[in-house]
Structure formats: C-alpha cells, structure tokens
C-alpha cells in the first residue's frame, strides 16, 4: 500500500481555507525541487483565465479550483475540480505528481471532477463546465 503524499502546513491551510470560505477559489500545489511534501504555489481568487495562466509550461502542478458557471436552466453553480497538470515538457516528475493527485483525491472526497491535462486547451472553460455540469 502506498503512503499518502505529505502536504506542507501551508498547503493544508490553503485547502481548508478554500473549503470553508469564499475568499479564494484556487489552490495550486507543487514540489519545489524534488518530490517530498507538496508545497503551496498559488492561493487566490483567480478567474479561469488567470488560473490557466498561472500554470508553468514546463512543470507539473496540482490544482484545486472552484469553477463557477451557469447551469442550462440559468442558475449559478459551482463545482470544485481537482486537476493534474502535466505539460509535455514536464514528464520528469509525473510519477510523484500522480501520487500526490491520488492522495488529494482521498483528502478531498467532496471533489467529484478529477482530470489530467497535458495542454492548455484541455482546460478550456466550456470543457470544464461540461465535465462539472
């Protein structure tokens, strides 16, 4: 059985902040230099475009993002997403990030939408809404 990936205190605090308040909608986590404890990279209230722009082109990231959208009936909805970002140039640490992704799935059981993205177009807003809807 695999050990769960450790998270830094700042990462745990940011995830709790996201869960309990409406002040932030995005937490981005990374391994700073080598696999170990996941560290907080970004914590903020980001638009969809800002979230995508915050992702490096050559390094993986783990993202928890509260996606806001309108349902087909016109009501406002939001859905929390867990995203494993592994761009093509960043395969060196893919195994560690995949383990972190699996740990976050267990840590965040209320997150229903999980996805892996290798290109920015896979994070296109309408695609995410379709997955969340």
Whether this prediction's pTM lies above 0.85 is answered by yes
pLDDT at residue 12 in the model:
93
- Dump pLDDT digits (tens) for 67-110: 999 988 888 999 999 999 999 888 778 888 999 999 999 999 99
Contact 63, 104 (CB under 8 A): no
pLDDT at residue 35 in the model:
64
Give the strand pairing for 76-85 and 39-44: unpaired
H-helix or E-strand containing 83? strand 76-85
- 34 pLDDT above the threshold of 70: no
pLDDT at residue 1 in the model:
38
């Amino acid at each position: 059985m695999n050990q769960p990936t450790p998270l830094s205190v700042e990462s745990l605090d940011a995830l709790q902040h996201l869960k309990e308040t409406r002040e932030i909608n995005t937490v981005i986590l990374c391994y700073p230099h080598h696999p170990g404890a996941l560290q907080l990279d970004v914590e903020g209230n980001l638009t969809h475009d800002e979230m995508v722009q915050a992702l490096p082109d050559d390094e993986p990231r783990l993202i928890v993002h509260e996606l806001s959208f309108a349902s087909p009936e016109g009501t406002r909805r939001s859905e929390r997403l867990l995203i494993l970002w592994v761009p093509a140039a960043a395969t060196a640490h893919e195994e560690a990030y995949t383990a972190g992704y699996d740990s976050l799935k267990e840590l965040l059981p209320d997150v229903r939408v999980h996805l892996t993205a290798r290109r920015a177009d896979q994070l296109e807003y309408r695609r995410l809404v379709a997955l969340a809807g």
